[in-house]
Chain A
Amino acid sequence: MTTLTPILSKHWDADRSWSMATYQANGGYTALRTALGTDPADLITQIKDSGLRGRGGAGFPTGMKWGFLPAPDGGPRYLVVNADESEPGTCKDIPLMMATPHQLVEGVIITAYAIGCHHAFIYLRGEVVHVYRRLLQAVQEAYDAGLLGSDVGGSGFQLDVTVHAGAGAYICGEETALLDSLEGRRGQPRLKPPFPAVEGLYARPTVVNNVESIASVPQIVGRGADWFKEMGTERSTGFGLFSLSGHVQHPGQYEAPLGITLRELLEMAGGIREGHELKFWTPGGSSTPLFTAEHLDVPLDYESVAKAGSMLGTRALQIFDDSVCVVRAITRWAEFYKHESCGKCTPCREGTSWLVQVLQRIESGRGSAEDLDTLLDVCDNILGRAFCALGDGATSTITSGITQFRAEFEAHLNGAGCPFDPAAATLFDSRRVTDAAGTVGA
Chain B
Amino acid sequence: MTTTTPAKGATSGALVPEVTFTIDDVEVSVPKGTLVIRAAEQIGIQIPRFCDHPLLKPAGACRQCLVEVATPDREGNLRAMPKPQASCTLEATPGMVVKTQRTSAVADKAQHGVMELLLINHPLDCPTCDKGGECPLQNQAMSNGRGTSRFVDVKRTYPKPLAISTAILLDRERCILCQRCTRFSNEIAGDQFIDLQLRGARQQIGTFDPAVLGFDGAGTASLFAGADGDGQPLTRAGGMPERDVLSGPAGPAETDTSGRPFASYFSGNTVQICPVGALTGASYRFRSRPFDLSSTPVIAEHDANGSAIRVDHRRGTVMRRLAGDDPVVNEEWITDKDRFAFTWQSAPDRLTTPLVRGEDGELREASWAEALTVAAEGLTTALDGSGVGVLPGGRLTLEDAYAYSKLARVALRTNDIDHRARPHSAEEESFLGHAVAGHGIDVTFADLERASGVLLVGYEPEDEGGVVFLRLRKGTLAGRTRVFSVAPFASRGLERLGATLLSAAPGTEPEVLDAITGRADGDLGAAAEALSGGLVLVGERLATVPGGLSAALRLAQRIGARLAWVPRRVGERAGIEAGTMPALLPGGRPVTDNAARVDLAAAWGVERLPATRGRDLSGILSAAAGGGLDALVVGGLDPADLPDPDLALRALDAAFVVSLEVRASAVTERADVVLPVAPPAEKPGTYLTWEGRPRPFPQALTSTALADQRVLHALAGRLGVDLGLGTLAATHAELDQLGGWDGARTPAPHAVYPEPPAPGAGQAVLATWHLLLDAGRCQDGEAFLAGTAPRPVARVGAELAARLGVTDGDQVTVSTEHGAITLPAVVTAMPDGVVWIPVNSPGSAVRPTLRVDAGAVVQVAAARPATDGDDA
Contacts and interface: CB of A to CB of B under 8 A. Distances in A.
Contact of B201 (A188, A353, A382): A353
Contact of A354 (B120, B176, B200, B203): B120
B200 A345 contact: no
A357 B150 CA distance: 12
A381 B89 CA distance: 19
A349 B201 contact: yes
Nearest to B50: A346
A344 interface: yes
Interface stretch (A68-76, A132-140, A298-306, A335-343): A335-343
Given A169-B199, A191-B58, A353-B201, A374 B177 contact: no
A386 B63 contact: yes
A431 interface: no
Interface string B163-178: 0000000000000110
Interface in B103-155: 109-110, 113-114, 116-118, 120-121, 150-151, 153-154
B102 interface: no
Interface residues of B, number: 36
Interface residues of A, number: 35
B121 A343 contact: no
Interface string A374-409: 100110111011110000000000000000000000
A350 B113 CA distance: 11
B200 A384 contact: no
A58 to B, nearest CB: 14
Contacts of B61: 344-346, 387
A44 B142 CA distance: 55
A216 interface: no
B63 A345 contact: yes
A374 B203 CA distance: 24
Given A343-B177, A374-B150, A380-B113, A352 B62 contact: no
B83 interface: yes
A357 B58 CA distance: 32
A381 B110 contact: yes
B218 to A, nearest CB: 20
Contacts of A350: 117-118, 120-121, 201
A342 B198 CA distance: 9
B84 interface: yes
B82 A384 contact: yes
B121 A191 contact: no
Contacts of A339: 200
A357 B153 contact: yes
A340 B58 CA distance: 24
Contacts of B64: 346
B63 A347 contact: yes
A358 interface: yes
A328 interface: no
A191 B177 contact: no
B62 A349 contact: no
Nearest to B176: A346
Given A169-B199, A191-B59, A343-B200, A385 B89 contact: no
Contacts of A347: 63, 113-114, 117
B666 interface: no
Contacts of B113: 347, 377-378, 380-382, 385
Contacts of B116: 381
Given A345-B63, A387-B63, A354 B153 contact: yes
Nearest to B66: A385
A381 B114 contact: yes
Nearest to B110: A385
Contacts of A377: 113
A351 interface: yes
Interface string A180-194: 000000101001000
A349 B153 contact: no
A357 B200 contact: no
B422 to A, nearest CB: 44
A387 B60 contact: yes
B201 A342 contact: no
A380 B83 CA distance: 11
A345 B60 contact: yes
Residue among B110, B113, B156, B177 with most chain A CB within 10 A: B113
A357 B113 CA distance: 17
B89 A384 contact: no
B196 interface: yes
A6 to B, nearest CB: 38
Contacts, number: 99
A273 interface: no
Contact of B62 (A345, A353, A381): A345
A390 B614 CA distance: 75
Contacts of A345: 60-63
Contacts of A380: 109, 113
A283 B109 CA distance: 30
Interface string B182-213: 00000000000001101111110000000000
A255 B824 CA distance: 68
Contact of A186 (B83, B121, B196): B196
A338 B62 contact: no
A204 interface: no
A342 B114 contact: no
Nearest to A190: B60
A342 B203 CA distance: 8
Residue among B58, B118, B198, B199 with most chain A CB within 10 A: B199
A361 interface: yes
Residue among A191, A344, A354 with most chain B CB within 10 A: A344
Contact of A385 (B83, B156, B177): B83
A101 B761 CA distance: 66
Contacts of B82: 384
Given A354-B153, A386-B63, A387-B63, A341 B117 contact: no
A361 B84 CA distance: 31
Interface string A182-212: 0000101001000000000000000000000
A381 B153 contact: no
Interface in B29-73: 58-64, 66
Contacts of A191: 58-60, 89
Interface string A359-377: 0010000000010001001
B79 to A, nearest CB: 16
Contacts of B156: 353
Contacts of A340: 199-200
Contacts of B121: 350, 353
Contacts of B200: 338-343, 349, 352-353
A435 to B, nearest CB: 26
A341 B61 CA distance: 13
A382 B203 CA distance: 18
B203 A349 contact: yes
Residue among A186, A343, A357 with most chain B CB within 10 A: A343
A421 to B, nearest CB: 27
A354 B151 CA distance: 8
A354 B121 CA distance: 9
Contacts of A374: 150
Contacts of B196: 186, 188, 343
Contacts of B118: 346, 350
A340 to B, nearest CB: 7
Contacts of A346: 61-64, 114, 117-118, 176-177
A374 B200 CA distance: 21
Nearest to A189: B60
A75 to B, nearest CB: 15
Contact of B199 (A341, A351, A378): A341
18 contacts: A169-B199, A339-B200, A342-B200, A343-B177, A343-B199, A343-B203, A345-B62, A346-B64, A346-B117, A347-B117, A353-B200, A357-B154, A377-B113, A381-B113, A381-B116, A385-B63, A385-B110, A386-B63
Given A343-B203, A361-B153, 5 more contacts: A346-B62, A346-B118, A352-B201, A374-B150, A387-B60
Q: Which 4 A-B pairs have the closest CB atoms?
A: A381-B113, A343-B203, A384-B83, A353-B201
